[in-house]
Amino acid sequence: MDLPKLTVKIASHNGADVAQLLFSKNDELLQLLRTTKFLRWSKTMNCWYLPYKPTIKNYLVTLLKGKAFLDYSNLPASDNLKEEIISSVEAKEKMQTNTALTLNEESKTKVKEFEDWMRSKRYSNNTIGTYSDALKIFLRFYSHKTIAEINNNDVIIFNNEYILKNRFSSSYQNQVVNAVKLFFRTIEMKLMVIESIHRPKRQKLLPNILSKEEVKELLDKTVNVKHKAMLSLIYSCGLRCGELLRLKFEHVDTKRNLLIIKQAKGRKDRITPLSLKISALLNEYYKTYKPQVYVFEGQSPSTMYDERSLQQVLKTNLLKTSIKKPVTLHWLRHSYATHLLENGTDLRYIQELFGHSSSKTTEIYTHVSTKSLQTITSPFDYL
């Protein structure tokens, strides 16, 4: 799972210096940032911001550790932390005389070459950003070395002296190792023996779901027909948020009761059944709003509906319910898969509906389905 990227820039707002927080729409990252009471939204700057202080970098590093890639290159050099912890005495001495380590010209050229290679291979923008950011951090850590001098043992040192010391997540560690491996194999034509590098075991987290009763309550409390259609379609077809917002009318096949999802995650097309009930709801919505290009459009005609606005729709309607869980839009997708499984749908069909390349990804829903568990009688009942 790719970590989101957050860029920090200083700006003047209402006569005061503020730190702009620039990032692609991400519900989990926004929820994390909202843990600080100082977070504000600016319509004029069209971004979230915090009051600027020289300690803002330290604060954000602590808050986002292992949760996001933090780009603070636009901050003054005095604000930069000594982030790169080098194991050798020579490197430490060098760091003391250069507190704002930056990429040298060789590293900048190589990172640009790496980005161009990934772009030519049609990697997604998120992957390109994640891998190039990870590589930059790794190369800054070894700024005292030429790239040709870096070897397998240096990756192990980086894991111990940077990743583990800073208590970054295991997924972040894997991303850096993947980026370094790909860079050296494709750009440097040098094979890193990844098997000798310690890789952490991935956390096995269960997906969060709502019960059928909770989904029904949420949709019943959503009065606005457009908002209800959006949330209902996410649940009834197991859509990701971006998949819903990119839908156009040619993707809705009402004659065959199918929804066509084009170029979803992994650049894969897939189809999913469209229930008669959701078709009727979409028809009611269309008569009221008459969208032109996208199924769900923003305030301006023919423009895609804003993801942040959709997240706010969910948040607003949740307040009308008795649900106290920290629900996100993706919970509806997880709930759809789990409820399909509980209704007796074969796991192979769910895999196809969700566009999963591996059945192992789909099998996680067997761990949250309660239908089989509820048939088990505890030995305690016989005591």
Give the residue numbers marked as catalytic.
240, 265, 330, 333, 356, 365
User: What are the backbone dihedrals phi and psi of residue 235, each rounded to the nearest 5 degrees, phi first?
Assistant: -70, -45
Provide the sign of the torsion angle of the four alpha carbons 146, 147, 153, 156, taken in this order: positive
SS3 164: helix
DSSP-derived secondary structure for 109-126: HHHHHHHHHHHHTT--HH
Calpha distance 24→239 (Å, rounded): 19
In the sheet that holds 268-273, the strands lie side by side as 252-253, 258-264, 268-273
Q: Which two tokens stand for residue 232?
A: 């209902």
Calpha distance 356→305 (Å, rounded): 26
Contact 354, 362 (CB under 8 A): yes
The angle subtended at Cα 32 by Cα 27 and Cα 36, nearest 5°, is 130
Contact 221, 213 (CB under 8 A): no
Calpha distance 45→360 (Å, rounded): 43
- Name the pairing type of β-strands 47-51 and 268-273: unpaired
Contact 186, 117 (CB under 8 A): yes
Calpha distance 54→143 (Å, rounded): 25
Q: Which two tokens stand for residue 188?
A: 């440097």
What sections of the chain are H helices per DSSP?
27-33, 56-64, 89-97, 105-120, 125-141, 152-158, 170-186, 212-221, 225-237, 241-245, 276-289, 307-318, 329-342, 347-354, 359-363
